[in-house]
Chain A
Amino acid sequence: MSTAQFVPLRFNWKTGLLAPGLLLITSSSVFAHNIEKHFKVEPRSVVTIHNPSGKVVVKAWTKSEVMVIATHTSDKVEVDAEQTGNRVDVMTHQISNSISPEDLRADYQINVPEDAELQIHDDSGEVSVANVLGDMNVETVGAGVDLEDAAGYLTVRTVGGSFQCIRCAGRLEVSSISGSFKLLSLRSYHVHAQTSKGNILFDGEFLPNGIYRLKNYSGVIEVHFSPGDSFDLSATSLKGKVNSQASLTPPAHAHPVYSKFGNAILGTFNAGHAKVELSSFDGTINILKRE
């Protein structure tokens, strides 16, 4: 069911006047290629985006339709957007063997239904997703990833890109090597965040029966809590420091292995409904009262 259609971008009179002049002084390759495509989809559609370089912005809307607007400047790449059943695949293709990183760049603005599932691969650039409630898998090398008001099962993997998640819910698994994470106003029942060199800031709710695992090699892990929160805490830094402002009830049984090595704080805050595990190799762990 392909209802894809090419829609020319709106004519802008300023651009219209400027374009002939620019044509005289620039080569054709610097002109932006703009593509807009629309696809009708059923509930729970899947959208895959594969872009080696550039900005990918995805927003949810109320229509049962996926809209893809792509922009690229080079003739050495082309953009494909195709529908197979309830899946829409968006991809930047390299059509020349010799291509510079700048030529590879393509930017996307994509609108999807709220319940869409996303699979995004963007090596460098930036990924931004807002209001999408379906499951999501994002993989990048250097591109930073920003999620806002996302839910579902969220998995994010970067190599050096940072990650920020604001008001996310559901289940979150994020890993990186040198990227830092900011998890703000989170309402997730399962968080597993691991980076090697980056910092991790967690400022969210500890839901009953939730599991929150934050881990790094070096850098700072900072967790904010409120007086009404309830969690079991295990915070260990093998070679670094652990600072806590939480008044904890000591555990009935000391942790058999980890507390022997490094610096560790173990205990229960209020009734211990959630489980919070923080660990670092030689970084600092701060457990701070929310201001």
Chain B
Amino acid sequence: MATVTCRDFQGRFESSDDSPRNDSPDLSIQAHLRDCPSCRNFIEDLGKIRAVGAQLAASDPEPPARIWFSLRAELEKEGLIRDTPSKSPSKSWVGELFSGRFSVLPRPVLAGGYLAALLAIAFGLSGPINSRINRKRWLDGNQSSMEPLSAQLMSAEKASFSSPPASETPVTASLHQNLEIVDNYISLCENSVREEPENELAREYLYEAYQQKADLLAQLNER
């Protein structure tokens, strides 16, 4: 019986459909599996991935219609597809994508392209450069993303000062004094960000001020 190495074992996966052939059970493979915990784990992990994949495939969630519109608009803009009116854009367009002019491409390539396009659109929606597609949403998102930070710092501050120290040392006095300075900057930066939501430098200053406040509160808590 020939000795099978881990590389040989995993090589069989690459050359087959993800599993070692069971139609002709190979004793050397079984022996290797018995002796090699690493390859056994590999097989177990693969089984779990398959199970989860099967569940996902069964659920097959339908993406919201706006995704299809955005994707279509983006591909039209790139000149990859032409405008073909249809009553149900999502189904017919996706159908065309997979069975029409792109059908010559292997499915993994199509899926990869689809994922890349989705990511490009998601990046466009969330990034500052292509924010024109949904600029307001991006701004609202940025504003709302700061709110939890501010709230968390507020509650941390309350917790820090819930039990005031018996006597304030020069060090804690200095920390409090600097906390006031940082609070003042936070307030200035918040105003600035409110006035100019696209101003990334102001936002950067605001985040840094939050960070400084968090550091100061941590130092106060240690004392």
Residues of B within 8 A of A124 (CB): 170-171, 174
A196 lies within 8 A of B181 (CB): yes
- Size class of B's contact patch? 20 to 34
Q: Are B188 and A178 within 8 A (Cβ)?
A: no
CB of A238 within 8 A of CB of B200, answer no
Interface size class of A (residues with CB under 8 A): 20 to 34
What's the Cα separation between A239 and B182 when bound, in Å? 17
| B contact residues around A196 at 8 Å (CB) | 181-182, 185, 209, 212
**Residue in contact with A160 in the complex, picked from B174, B199, B209, B212, CB distance below 8 Å:** B174
Q: Is A177 an interface residue (CB 8 A)?
A: yes
Q: Are A281 and B189 in contact (CB under 8 A)?
A: yes
Q: Are B174 and A261 in contact (CB under 8 A)?
A: no
Q: Is A159 an interface residue (CB 8 A)?
A: yes
Cross-chain contact B171 with A141 (CB below 8 angstroms): yes
The docked-state distance in angstroms from the alpha carbon of A194 to that of B204 is 13
What 1/0 flags go to B159-188 for Cβ under 8 Å of A?
000000000011100110110011001001
Q: How far is the CB of A139 from chain B (nearest CB, A)?
A: 10
> Per a CB cutoff under 8 Å, which of A53, A194, A261 touches B202?
A261
Q: Does A20 contact B (CB under 8 A)?
A: no
* Complexed CA–CA distance, A18 and B76 (Å): 96
Residues of A within 8 Å of B189, CB to CB, are 281
A229 to B216, CA, bound (A): 38
Report A205-227 CB contacts with B as 1/0, cut-off 8 Å.
00000000000010000000000
Whole-angstrom distance from the CB of B49 to the nearest CB of chain A?
A: 42
Q: Taking the nearest CB of chain A, how far is it from the CB of B216, in angstroms?
A: 7
Please indicate the chain B residues that have their CB under 8 angstroms from the CB of A101 in the complex.
169-171
A141 to B192 alpha-carbon distance, docked (Å): 29
Given A141-B175, A197-B181, A238-B205, answer yes or no on A257-B200 (Cβ-Cβ < 8 Å): yes
Contacts of B175 in A (CB 8 A): 141, 159
- Encode contact with B along A17-45: 1 for CB under 8 Å, 0 otherwise: 00000000000000000000000000000
CB distance from B170 to the nearest CB of A (A): 6
Can you list 18 A-B contacts with CB-CB less than 8 angstroms, sorted by A residue number? A101-B171, A141-B174, A142-B174, A160-B174, A177-B181, A178-B178, A196-B185, A196-B212, A217-B185, A217-B209, A238-B201, A257-B128, A257-B201, A258-B200, A260-B199, A261-B196, A261-B202, A281-B192
Apart from A142-B170, A261-B202, 4 more pairs, CB < 8 Å: A196-B209, A238-B201, A239-B192, A257-B128
Q: Interface residues, chain B, CB within 8 Å of chain A?
A: 128, 169-171, 174-175, 177-178, 181-182, 185, 188-189, 192, 196, 198-202, 205, 208-209, 212, 216, 219
